[in-house]
């Protein structure tokens, strides 16, 4: 179901890469969507990386990349490789040329350790055969030129008499240049919650309905919160032909995992729908996922967006926190918040969204819940883990996500979310 881009683009680009000079943009055919075979809003150009001349003993390349060159218009960039289980131990840096000013940016880092995102091990989405390893994508704005370098970390057994180490860089590295396409003319701010496509039975065997967590006939206060405004997939311009038609559900929602997209903060809130379309295309077309991984996204102005398809009121199975996608929802704040404080509008939106979403399932945002790990680098498969109902990504996986500055705000978010539910 999930195919990658036509090889004709890669062949044309690979032939051009042997030249150190820039390639005229008109020499590359307009990218097409591999699922439909026709040109669609937005596109992805995939450029295989080549050795840049630096090698270790036994001819093992330690640096790959691309020289400065003209490319199809793009606004979001990332690097992918063949094996989703292989780690890229090293650094990835890109430069882009602004389509508006013609100036080149400084070198910018891409987050290389992105394995903590994605579908859980053993699920049909992860075992589809199309999933690839990937960096986090980076939003750079409208661009028409690019340069990239990927450098491996020094192997621990290097030395003049050492045995050859395994390839320090994963196989099949390619640069993915994503054009999110034109923004939709109208942005409805409410979600119709209509089901789209076929449904997949939830892991629990239920039909994807929601539960309040209260026993039938109980007199206890339900502690629900008002539903915040949510911009629908149609509102941010999702091309529904890209994703799989099937919709996956889990049994309930016990916890909300907060993320940052690590795509950088160089975007305006007017551009946020384009950023989401770029992430969506990168997750599906470049990384081989079923759909965008997050259940919800929030921009730096506090606007909330529907993420993965299936209905915002339903327990949609996401691909956001490896090991803990079951019985949880993923909320991604667009941007990078390791050293930048999130605006107050962001933390308010997280609190309102988590209060409403968790309230549908009778969960106290200030409370603890128990989740069972599906396997990861922090908890082995089958481990029952007590977590905050509103947790950061790093609580379920060894990662910096959602960044120190955003993570430090989650205590305040929990208190506010509980108040939105009417709890003291």
Q: Where are the domains of the chain?
A: 7-179, 233-420
What pLDDT is recorded for position 127? 81
From CA 279, how far away is CA 239, in angstroms rounded? 12
pLDDT over 90 at 149, yes or no: yes
Q: How far apart are CA 136 and CA 340, in angstroms?
A: 18
Helices (H), ranges, 179-221: none
pLDDT digit string, tens, across residues 78-91: 999 999 888 898 99
| Residues ≥6 apart with Cβ < 8 Å to 359 | 222, 223, 224, 225, 421
Confidence class of residue 222 from pLDDT cuts 50, 70 and 90? confident
Please identify which residue in the block is written with the tokens 């309930």: 252
pLDDT at 303: 98
Opening angle at CA 281, ends 132 and 73, nearest 5: 110
**What is the Cβ-side half-sphere exposure of residue 39, based on CA atoms within 13 angstroms?**
5
Using pLDDT thresholds of 50, 70 and 90, give the confidence band for residue 353: very high
Could you give the 3-state DSSP secondary structure of residue 392?
strand
Distance of alpha carbon 333 from alpha carbon 258, whole angstroms: 8
State pLDDT tens for residues 291-305.
999 999 999 999 999
Length of the chain: 424
Residue 375 pLDDT level (bands cut at 50, 70, 90): confident
Top mean-pLDDT range of 1-15, 218-232, 383-397 = 383-397
* Highest-scoring range by mean pLDDT, 11-20, 218-227, 252-261: 252-261
pLDDT over threshold 50, residue 414: yes
| Cα distance between residue 273 and residue 276, in whole Å | 5
The fold of 233-420 is Lysozyme-like (3.40.80)
292: which residues sit within 8 A by CB, 6+ positions away? Answer: 238, 243, 276, 279, 280, 283, 284, 307, 308
């Amino acid at each position: 179901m999930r195919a990658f881009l036509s090889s004709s683009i890669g062949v044309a680009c690979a032939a051009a890469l042997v030249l150190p000079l820039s390639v005229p943009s008109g020499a590359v055919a307009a990218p097409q969507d591999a699922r439909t075979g026709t040109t669609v809003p937005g596109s992805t150009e995939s450029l295989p990386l080549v050795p840049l001349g630096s090698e270790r003993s036994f001819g093992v390349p330690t640096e790959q990349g691309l020289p400065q060159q003209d490319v199809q218009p793009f606004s979001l960039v990332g690097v992918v490789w063949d094996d989703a289980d292989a780690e890229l131990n090293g650094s990835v840096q890109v430069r882009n040329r602004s389509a508006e000013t013609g100036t080149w940016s400084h070198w910018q880092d891409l987050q290389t350790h992105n394995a903590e995102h994605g579908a859980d091990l053993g699920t049909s989405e992860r075992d589809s055969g199309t999933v690839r390893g990937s960096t986090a994508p980076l939003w750079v704005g409208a661009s028409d030129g690019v340069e990239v370098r990927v450098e491996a970390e020094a192997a621990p057994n290097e030395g003049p008499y050492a045995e050859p180490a395994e390839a320090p860089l994963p196989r099949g590295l390619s640069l993915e240049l994503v054009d999110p396409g034109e923004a939709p003319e109208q942005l409805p701010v409410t979600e119709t919650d209509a089901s789209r496509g076929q449904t997949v039975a939830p892991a629990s065997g239920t039909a994807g309905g929601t539960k309040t967590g209260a026993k039938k006939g109980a007199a206890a206060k339900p502690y629900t919160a008002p539903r915040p405004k949510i911009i629908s997939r149609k509102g941010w311009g999702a091309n529904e032909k890209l994703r799989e038609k099937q919709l996956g559900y889990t049994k309930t929602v016990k916890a909300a995992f907060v993320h940052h997209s690590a795509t950088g903060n160089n975007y305006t809130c007017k551009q946020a729908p384009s950023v989401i379309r770029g992430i969506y295309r990168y997750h599906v077309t470049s990384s081989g996922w079923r759909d965008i991984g997050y259940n919800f996204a929030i921009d730096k102005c506090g606007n909330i967006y529907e993420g993965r398809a299936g209905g915002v009121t339903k327990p949609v199975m996401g691909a956001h926190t490896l090991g803990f996608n079951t019985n949880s929802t993923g909320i991604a704040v667009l941007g990078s918040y390791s050293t930048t404080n999130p605006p107050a509008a962001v933390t308010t939106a997280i609190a309102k969204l988590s209060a409403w979403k968790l309230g549908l399932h009778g969960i106290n945002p200030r409370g603890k819940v128990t989740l069972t790990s599906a396997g990861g680098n922090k908890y082995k498969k089958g481990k029952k883990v007590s977590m905050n109902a509103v947790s950061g990504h790093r609580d379920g996986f060894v990662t910096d996500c959602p960044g120190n500055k955003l993570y430090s705000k989650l205590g305040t978010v929990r208190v506010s979310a509980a108040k939105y539910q009417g709890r003291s």
